[in-house]
A = this chain, B = another copy of it.
Amino acid sequence: MARPPRYDETQLLDTAVRIAADAGPAAVTMSAIARASGVPNGSIYHRFPQRLALLAELWLRTVEHFQTGYFAALQSDGDPLRAGAAAARHVVAWSRQNPREAAVLLHGPQSFGRDEWPEEYARRADDGNKRVLEAVAELAERGGATAELEVDRVMLAVIELPLAVVRRYLRAGRPLPPHAEELAERCAVDLLA
């Protein structure tokens, strides 16, 4: 016995991602989302109690979307070298298929107000981070890397380095070249070997 919702969070977050990718996180204002989506100002506050909650959801939705595929790639192969290669390749491939979400990822949580998020969101972000760190640490162990410097190198190979490849092109406003996956995978393998 109630009026059905006319807008949903997804629609608003999609608009917010588009704005963030095109004009940076600072441009993701409630007014901008209202203008771009046609949803009135007040209706947005019906879905998100405050701007920081919207930014937090925007970040978490994006990073969690990324991580599902990333974990799958990391565990796709028993051989740690091949698993690492698959993970590195996945980062680039996913970014190619989701360039706007990739742009969000590259900005990092701080740009979306991470330090002022309500506890609940901060915890969700920490959990996700922890899962990634554990998965990569396990990969390093399977590969025989134990020293801190060795683990750092694995982390670099399967996360930071492929992201650096993506960043290099997206920051310049250019699309990813066809050989980007190849580049990231080969470099990752070289660092892991």
* A19 beta carbon closer than 8 Å to chain B: no
- Contact at B187–A110, with CB atoms within 8 Å? no
A 103-115 binary contact with B (CB < 8 Å = 1; else 0):
0000010110000
Knowing A111-B24, A190-B190, A190-B191, say if A160 contacts B164 (CB, 8 Å). yes
Residues of B with C-beta under 8 A to A191: 187, 190-191
A 56-79 binary contact with B (CB < 8 Å = 1; else 0):
000000000000000000000000
Distance of A108 Cα from B168 Cα, bound (Å): 11
* A8 beta carbon closer than 8 Å to chain B: no
In angstroms, how far is the closest chain B Cβ from the Cβ of A29? 11
Distance of A149 Cα from B190 Cα, bound (Å): 15
A sample of 27 cross-chain residue pairs with beta-carbon separation below 8 angstroms, ordered by A number, consists of A24-B110, A24-B111, A26-B26, A108-B171, A110-B171, A111-B111, A148-B179, A149-B182, A149-B183, A152-B183, A153-B186, A153-B187, A155-B168, A156-B161, A156-B165, A156-B168, A156-B183, A156-B187, A160-B165, A160-B167, A160-B168, A161-B161, A163-B164, A164-B164, A190-B190, A190-B191, A191-B191
Q: Which 8 A-B residue pairs are closest in the complex by CB-CB distance? A: A160-B164, A26-B26, A164-B164, A149-B179, A190-B190, A152-B183, A187-B191, A108-B171
Contacts A110-B171, A153-B187 aside, 17 further interface pairs with beta carbons under 8 A come to A24-B111, A111-B111, A148-B179, A149-B179, A149-B183, A152-B179, A153-B183, A156-B165, A156-B187, A160-B161, A160-B164, A160-B165, A160-B167, A160-B168, A163-B164, A190-B190, A191-B191
